[in-house]
Amino acid sequence: MSELWELNTMERRYSIPPSTISEPRLVPPPRPPGGPTSASAKLDLHAWSIYRQNLNSDFTDSALGSQEKTTLPYGNFQLRESTVHTILNNPRYGPKSELGSNMFTYLKFGLPRVFPPTLAGRDGSSGYDSSDDGGAAAAATTAGVRRREEEASPIGLGDRYTRSKSNPDLVAARDWNPLTSPRDSKTKSSSEANLLASDVYYRERDGGGRGFNKLEGSHISLVSRRSRQHGAIFNQPPDGTAYRDPPMLNDKLFPRDNPWPEDGGIEVKGPHLQVRGVVYETRGSGGPTHLLDGISLEARGGEVLAVMATNESEGSCLLDVLANRHARWNGRLRGDFILNGNHTKPSKVASRSAYVQQDVNFCPDMSVRQTLLLHTFFRSSGDLSRVRDVKARINGLINDLGLEQVRHTRVKDLTLSERRRLNVACHLLLETDVVLLDQPTRGMDIFDTFFLVEYLRQWACRGRIVILTIQPPTYEIFTMISRVALISTGRLMYFGRRREMLPYFAFIEYPCPAYKNPSDYYLDLVTLDDLSAEAMLESSQRVEMLAETFRRRQEALSDPGPPGPLPPKVHKENLCLQLLGLWIRAMIYQFPYNMVHWLAMTVVAGMMSVVVGAVYWDVRSAPVQHQDNVNNRAAFHYVMVGLALWPILLMAVSEVWRDKPALARDVDDGLYSRAIYISTKICYSFIAAGGTFLAYILPAYMMAGFPSADQFYYYLGYMILYLYAIRAIAIAAICVFDSRHTAAMATGFVMTLALLGAGFTIHPLDLSAWTWPTLWWSPARWVLHEVNRYEFDSTNEFLCDRNPVLQDSLSAIQRKAPCGVVTGNQALRYMGLPETNLPDIFYPAIFILVAYLCGQIVTIIAFVASKKPNRTKKYRIE
């Protein structure tokens, strides 16, 4: 009990700018610089610096999850109203900055999250009502509340500027009566306001001026759940005084759905999703494992359902089931899915939902705006009324999600927080009634998390269902959530409204301690402790008891009502438009970085060609050739075929490997298929690869000598065909293996076998029996056979004037040693390349073409058959 009283006395309060609705503020006229105003401004800035250090210390404790509040650096320091006014009107935070118009950026600068003074709004607050009681009754009493506040004493009740707390009051209810009606209980915790709303406002609204009991339950009764048509924020009647949301969403581009029928009734025309008795099990090495066991939950339009699980894979599995992305071969799914009163399959729910997964590996060479444009090209909303003016909606989302400054920045250069917000924007463009998000705030700091969750809450207020998995948030973020699903060992520990979570656990004798974040505390409560055998036994018994308790006490889901129309499907483009979209991305959206990559590869190819040409400079241009040049000329072709091209192959392998994460993300997101992608890539990379091959062939050939035009054309044709074949084999290797190092090793192994049968390093007559097949399938053997045949066929004689002079021992006759290789045919026989006995001179080209086609076929098969992320591994099933 002492903790309860101590909690009430340890409060820090601060001033917030007044609202101009009830108390208009008179702005003093400008004064000349250098006067007393300048000195006052300096004092105000000094006071602001002190206050900000206190506030940052408080936020640090909240972010780190400290059990004990540290002592504030400057104690209970308060800001006067004039100081806050001076700070807001300082040139540093003037109208040119976002701080002058967007109150959400205040949080990043340490200011209270409140509205700047406007002609609309409520009490200068952000408009967020964490009690979720913003129905028609609350709207009707707003004027009366303000009138009573104005008539109240300036000390205490009438002080609207010092009534918000920064330390959350987390005291659980002492007595929880399931028969208490909402009218008889306090429906708003004073701590839930926490920079957002007022104690006085809710005390006057709910209690009608009655006495305030500090030991009264701080959360609404568990049985006080009202249907969304009475409590949803987006369900404010059009004729009432509805509260105003913070200006995060563009009302013109993203208008709210009107849930009120034209006849003035109270039925809600919003989406309604129910999941009943879902069981999902996988079969692993240790037998079947239940990832989800009897999960039943629901969400209506306007609600944010947060799934908090002790094992992250359990929350991801639940969203995968809703998005129809679960494993089908090793998994088994049972349960009922009801959407708008219709019993449907998971595939129908998935086709009408937007699933924001954790993967944010977008194409690295496109900008933020280009990424959004590409997503809208491949997929769009099935409701034509929601897809008008696509570019304006893209610009609106860029502005709303804080991506304006990186609009034209490469995705590669974005921070993790910006990429996650971009991922959310790509799926919000679909305008689906159901939005699923798997850990959308992973890796974000507390401020970006606050901003994104608030934005999703407002998106839900448009009549949408938002379901997200999230790590234990701060208490301020926790109060933005409408419903909570707490999962441990695949079972529900709690599901219901967020404001009823603390009373429920307090009722079953697990109250949340003072100064403790409920989300952290209750997630730890249902987590298995494996530090010791005793702790594991105790925690497993506790989790089993909590699961069984909730199973017995869980209220039945609401009646889905008569079947209604299903939401529109997500529209996907046909095959031809997908091909066109990939061409646009490769040729236009990735410019100029695609040219930079191509030029880099071409420059490397040209440099290798120049090096080879310098080594074999003018080796075949002389009109009279010596037999010493036979090996040099054959070695030139061997180096060009098997050695100097390795940098090009490794760069081609790295390029495909670099694109694989973005490809996997787009395919898993359903933008296009793997077969369409690889077919398109083969087509548009064919010409670019040809330019690189020309840069590799021409300089070396010119520097080594240019015998004749006919020989050049034969050489050019065979070499280009051979390089395409080897490149296809290298790309096939990187498609088969995930690691580029493994792919490089596999390519090297194939190239080694192919070069062994080429007849240069080892004479064909000396090859062992197991290497004889390489003489037929090796593309290097056939290309060397043809280029060497054209190289030496035209040579009638090789000079050997440097042969030694020999003297016969029986006579005085001296004679020159015979030449070993005199003609070109002798040179071919010496290298083991006799004239071909094939029925056609184009057979070598056919063999090389077959090698190229085999490489492309393996590439396509490897891409299409590549397995999706292993669900068993993803869910960490042992």
Mean pLDDT for 472-476 is 86
Give whole-number Cα distances, 16 to 56, 80, 149, 324, 418, in Å. 17, 9, 16, 47, 30
What does the pLDDT read at residue 481?
92
Phi, psi of 436, deg, nearest 5: -110, 130
Exposure class string for 263-283: b at 16+ Cβ within 10 A, else e? eeeeebebbbbbbbebbbbbe
Confidence of residue 360 (pLDDT cuts 50, 70, 90): very high
Where do the CATH 3.40.50.300 domains begin and end in the chain? Answer: 272-570
Which tokens in the block code for residue 631? 């090996």
What does the pLDDT read at residue 125?
33
For the chain, the maximum distance between any two Cα atoms, rounded to a whole number of angstroms, is 142
Which tokens in the block code for residue 20? 């101009």
What does the pLDDT read at residue 867?
59
The amino acid present at 855, given as its one-letter code, is G
Exposure class string for 47-86: b at 16+ Cβ within 10 A, else e? bbeebeebbebbbebbeeeeeeeeeeeeeeeebeeebbbb
The answer to whether residue 837 scores a pLDDT higher than 70 is no
The answer to whether residue 431 scores a pLDDT higher than 50 is yes
Mean pLDDT of the chain: 73
Contact 215, 4 (CB under 8 A): yes
Distance CA 321, CA 327 (A): 9
The answer to whether residue 373 scores a pLDDT higher than 90 is yes
Confidence of residue 238 (pLDDT cuts 50, 70, 90): very low
User: Within its chain, how far is the Cα of 110 from the centroid?
Assistant: 28
Query: Could you report the per-residue pLDDT of 99-139, keeping only the tens digit for each?
Result: 444 544 444 444 333 344 444 433 333 333 333 434 433 43
Greater confidence (350 vs 79) lies with 350
ω into 592 cis (within 30 of 0): yes
CATH number of 272-570: 3.40.50.300
What does the pLDDT read at residue 416?
93
Mean pLDDT for 551-569 is 88
Contact 164, 196 (CB under 8 A): yes
The answer to whether residue 43 scores a pLDDT higher than 70 is yes
Nearest to 427 by CA among 402, 397, 406: 397
Greater confidence (558 vs 807) lies with 558
Distance CA 386, CA 381 (A): 7
For 287, the 3-state DSSP assignment is strand
The answer to whether residue 671 scores a pLDDT higher than 80 is yes
The amino acid present at 303, given as its one-letter code, is E
Exposure class string for 153-166: b at 16+ Cβ within 10 A, else e? eeeebebbbebbbb
* Adjacent-strand bridge partners of 785: none
Contact 535, 255 (CB under 8 A): no
Exposure class string for 1-27: b at 16+ Cβ within 10 A, else e? eeeeeebeeebbebbbbbbeeeeeeee
Residue 709, number of CB atoms within 10 A of its CB: 8
Confidence of residue 51 (pLDDT cuts 50, 70, 90): confident
Confidence of residue 697 (pLDDT cuts 50, 70, 90): very high
Greater confidence (27 vs 601) lies with 601
Query: 380 — alpha (psi -120 to 50), left (phi > 0) or beta?
Result: beta
Classify strands 342-344 and 304-309 as parallel, antiparallel or unpaired.
Answer: unpaired
Percent of the chain with pLDDT over 70: 64
**Range with the poorest average pLDDT among 360-364, 404-408, 869-873:** 869-873
Residue 498, number of CB atoms within 10 A of its CB: 24
Q: Would the CA dihedral through 329, 330, 334, 340 be positive or negative?
A: negative
Sheet strands (E) in 665-764: none
Query: Could you report the per-residue pLDDT of 778-815, keeping only the tens digit for each?
Result: 888 888 877 877 777 766 666 676 666 666 666 666 66
Mean pLDDT for 654-670 is 90
Mean pLDDT for 711-735 is 88
Contact 482, 498 (CB under 8 A): yes
Distance CA 266, CA 672 (A): 42
For the stretch 207-215, contacts whose Cβ atoms lie closer than 8 Å and that sit 24 or more positions apart, written own/partner, are 209/148, 214/4, 214/5, 214/8, 215/4, 215/174
- DSSP codes of every residue in 811-867: SS-EEEPPPS--SHHHHHHHTT-PPP-SSSTTHHHHHHHHHHHHHHHHHHHHHHHPP
Give whole-number Cα distances, 75 to 12, 71, 536, in Å. 9, 7, 42
Contact 518, 475 (CB under 8 A): yes
What does the pLDDT read at residue 829?
73
Look up the pTM and report it. Answer: 0.69
